[in-house]
Structures are given as C-alpha cells and as structure tokens.
Amino acid sequence: MEAASKARPASKPRDLAGDKAQRIVDAMRGSVARRGAAGSTFDHVAREAGVSRGLLHYYFGTKERLLVEVVRRDTDIRMAALDESLAGAHTADDLIDALVRSLEDIVEHDPDFVTLWFELFTVSRRNREIGVEVAALTRRTREHVAEVLAGKQREGVLRLHDRPDAVATILFSLADGIAMRMLLEPERDFAPTLRAGITCARALLTDGE
C-alpha cells in the first residue's frame, strides 16, 4: 500500500476542515472517478489539488485512508439531503418516493458516488484496517436510517415488517444493487425494476398492508 510507513496514528487525527485538506479530498474524488483507486497516486492527487505530496501524507497517511475520507464526506452529504427529504414524509408512499428520488438523483447526477463506494469496498477486502473503517461507516449510515424508520413508526407513518436495522439493511441492498445495474446498462429501461423495488420496499415499510 502506498506510503504505509508514513500512515498517521489513528489516535491523532488531523483537522480536515481546512481549505487544503478539502482540496485534496475533492482531487481524490475526481481522480478515482477517472482512474480508479489503483490509478490514483498521491502524485496525481497532489498535482490536481495544487499541494505538495507531503501534505497528503500529513493529513491522510495513505491513499486508502484518503479514499475512506472521500467516501465519508460524500456519505454525510447524501445522508443530510436524504434526512431533509424524509422529514417531510407523512405516509409510507411519501417515504418511498423520497428514497426513489434519492436513488435516481445519484445515478443521474452523481454516479461517481456509486463508483467510490465500490472502489472502497474492493480496497477494504484487501486491507483489514480499512475494512474496519468501512464497516464502521456502513454501520453508522445503517443505524442512522434505522433511527429515522423507527421514528416514523412511532409517528404512525410506518408499520415495519421487521426490526428497523434489518429493514434499513434491505433498503440499502436494494438501492446499491439497482444503482450498480443502472450504471452498467444505461440504455435499459429500469422503470419495471424500480416498480418491483417499490413493491418490496412497501411490503417492508407497511408490513404487507
């Protein structure tokens, strides 16, 4: 792994709120979209971010940790947008519509987000330390959506078929799989697939009502 010996200790994270750190994250995101994770070297990213290579080591230590940070930031942005949409859901169909719009928006306007997640998954299978971080990020997003679902159930909007975390896991699995296939076959009409997915989601969110 690139520059593994210079990885920063996990107990002393750097402040990533500054302009240079964010430029590095942006450059890595663009590089992975064009070259993939394997082809996105620190030299490429540093040049495109307009910073020294050493600064990438300072903030992130390794390319893999930088990739984790890219996906973490993108996920936080996506989850915030989804929260806003779900907050106004007063029926199960409202919530399903919000989920479908989010999926369609990602595929149409931000397909790199899907690519980043699958690149990170591949890296996590080869790097145990990164795998732990990816699992934690996945768990955090699942638990967050599960809390939203549980809240909607308490409000009487939903009647979940199973535990909120189990339902959230299936919803994420549906979205991940459909998004990947939509990107692989852009010429295909996915309207029937989305209808089938909506049927599955409705059964999970309304307990088959």
Can you tell me the mean pLDDT for 22-49?
90
Task: Please report, rounded to a whole number, the percentage of residues in the chain having pLDDT higher than 90.
Answer: 65
The band of 89, judged by pLDDT with boundaries at 50, 70 and 90, is very high
62 vs 45: CA distance, rounded Å: 12
Distances (CA, A) of 130 to 42, 85, 135, 167, 186: 17, 31, 9, 26, 31
Of how many residues is the chain composed? 209
How many C-beta atoms lie closer than 10 Å to residue 168's C-beta? Answer: 22
Q: State both tokens at 142.
A: 């699942």
64, 41 contact by CB (below 8 A): no
| pLDDT attached to residue 14 | 64
165 vs 22: CA distance, rounded Å: 32
Maximum mean pLDDT: which of 4-18, 27-41, 42-56: 42-56
96 vs 148: CA distance, rounded Å: 13
| pLDDT attached to residue 129 | 86
Q: The domain containing residue 25 runs over which residues? A: 4-206
40 vs 53: CA distance, rounded Å: 13
The band of 1, judged by pLDDT with boundaries at 50, 70 and 90, is very low
The model carries a pTM of: 0.83
| pLDDT attached to residue 15 | 64
Q: Which residue has the tokens 């910073």?
A: 51
Can you tell me the mean pLDDT for 114-129?
90
| pLDDT attached to residue 185 | 97
**pLDDT higher at 9 or 58:** 58
| pLDDT attached to residue 38 | 86
Q: State both tokens at 156.
A: 């009487």
- On the question of pLDDT at 87 being above 50, the answer is yes
143-175 residue pLDDT tens:
999 999 999 999 999 999 999 999 999 999 999
How many structural domains are present in the chain? 1
The band of 17, judged by pLDDT with boundaries at 50, 70 and 90, is low
- On the question of pLDDT at 7 being above 50, the answer is no
55, 46 contact by CB (below 8 A): yes
Can you tell me the mean pLDDT for 13-26?
79
Domain of residue 121, CATH code: 1.10.357.10
